[in-house]
Amino acid sequence: MQQSISVKEALASQAPRDALLVRGWVRTRRDAKTFSFLELNDGSCLKSLQVIADAALPNYAEVQRLTTGASVSVRGQLVPSQGQGQRWEVKAASVEIIGTADAAYPLQKKGHTPEFLREIAHLRPRSNLFGCVFRVRSRLAYAIHQFFQDRGFAYVHTPIITGSDCEGAGELFRVTTLDLKNPPRREDGEIDSSKDFFGRPTYLTVSGQLEAEAFACALAKVYTFGPTFRAENSNTSRHASEFWMIEPEMAFCDLQGNMEIAEEFVKYLIRDVRTHCAEDLELFAKFVDKGLLERLDFVVERPFQRVSYTEAVELLAKSGHKFEYPVEYGTNLQSEHERYLTEQHFKCPTTVYNYPKEIKPFYMRLNDDDRTVTAMDVLVPGIGEIIGGSQREERLDVLEKSMARHNLDPKDYGWYLDLRRYGTVPHAGFGMGFERMLMFVTGVSNIRDVIPFARTPGNAAF
Ligand code: 4AD
Ligand code: MG
């Protein structure tokens, strides 16, 4: 079988080619007097390859019945194009029809709503916009590995099924094989988890951090990159129930070092995508978000603002802006507050650090003021939080007190406490929401449109 080449490779050719084989899906077909034009797309790039199918082809009658969505295999010559807008086209010697598509094919015309396209998530990657989104998604994942691998970080696979609630927010999906209709019960009537598959209650992980800490305390610099799950009932454009997270964890690192690497990381990813997905980004800039490219360049060029939580609260209170939720020291910043900081006030990415201990998870390092912990959130315009992280509490006694305050049973965290018992070190890390970062670099405003098959409250189709 002759090796086919991709449309991208064909379009990048430096010279004409004699025997070419390309395969893909017909985007459009239009007929001239003695030939038919096919626009062939195979997802390797945004552009399609123009194929000229001559009326002399033995199966020309069938070619003329080809409709949008059909799959074909084309042999022929790559020749300079006479037409406008493309350098090369294919003069077909044969057009083999692999699979037809009838008039019911849902991606006939442009201009479908995002809601409709979500219903056909199995077909939407064949559209221009979603082709671009998923090529950028792939590149971004690659760039993430490159960033950490180049800096000597080891990639750690933390478990998907876990017994602990890292963030302590109780947003866990339960994993069980118990018979839901008739679960085994203890004497007190509660469900007996000791009879469950793992002999204990288990959940889908909300974060690989705790396990990543164990590895950071051995391999010094590590990162995870995997799916995480949250059963939070947030129906927003930025929350998914299943999303991917990147979590670096570094031994011998403090909050300052953590903020620096987070900033370097965000800028690196933007630069990488700017370079390697230029054509895709141009489509976003044209159809999704006019200011995209300027904003990305601006972010790469400027230092991020840094502001403590206390300063941020004062600044929001003094802003005179009418927020839906009041700004008060000791409460979580709402999305509207975060966006005000980064969009209106600083007008650039902003790292907020040192939050009150009451509103942050148990593992964050207590500051000397005894009131705040070394948390940090990176906020970006248009989205709000894309990164959350902290320096971790490395002092055994302080960690135990923090766990007591959070009503956590030290018995459940024996292994985690061991990391402080044996050769404890200051360490820090963060989690970046992969889809949030993807939204930021593409300008796509709904998280459902940057995940192949979104899982959100009430929706797990496909
Ligand atoms: O701020 P979060 O909850 O932090 C953690 O889970 C830490 N354990 C990370 C760490 O320090 N290793 O989540 C991290 C990031 C957020 O900043 C956000 O970008 C993303 O994960 N995120 C979500 N993305 C999509 N849908 C959701 N429901 C998300 N929840 C968090
Ligand atoms: Mg957070």
**Which pLDDT tens digit goes with each residue over 88-110?**
999 999 999 999 999 999 998 77
**Sequence-ordered list of residues with C-beta below 8 angstroms from that of 400, at least 6 positions apart, any chain:** 410, 417
For 66, the 3-state DSSP assignment is coil
**Which pLDDT tens digit goes with each residue over 274-289?**
999 999 999 999 999 9
Considering the chain, what percentage of its residues have pLDDT values greater than 90?
A: 95
Q: What are the structure tokens assigned to 446, written together?
A: 């709904």
**Which pLDDT tens digit goes with each residue over 15-67?**
999 999 999 999 999 999 999 999 999 999 999 999 999 999 999 999 999 99
pLDDT of 83 reads 82
Ligand 1: list residues with CB < 6 Å: 166-167, 207, 209, 230, 232, 239-240, 243, 245, 247, 385-390, 429-431, 433, 435-436, 447
Instruction: Say how many Å lie between the CA of residue 424 and the centre of ligand 2.
Output: 25
C-alpha to C-alpha distance for 369 and 307, rounded to whole angstroms: 17
What 8-state DSSP symbol labels residue 118?
H
Ligand with smallest separation from the Cα of 168: 1
Above 90 in pLDDT, residue 84? no
Give, for ligand 1, the residue of 223, 229, 243, 380 to mutate: max count of ligand atoms closer than 8 Å to Cβ: 243
- Name the residue with the closest Cα to ligand 1, atom 1: 388
**Residue 338 Rama label (left phi>0; alpha psi -120 to 50; beta):** alpha
Instruction: Say how many Å lie between the CA of residue 438 and the centre of ligand 1.
Output: 14
C-alpha to C-alpha distance for 344 and 78, rounded to whole angstroms: 52
> What mean pLDDT, rounded, does the chain reach?
96
Instruction: Say how many Å lie between the CA of residue 363 and the centre of ligand 2.
Output: 13
- Name the residue with the closest Cα to ligand 1, atom 5: 431
How many helices and strands (H and E) does the chain possess? 13, 16
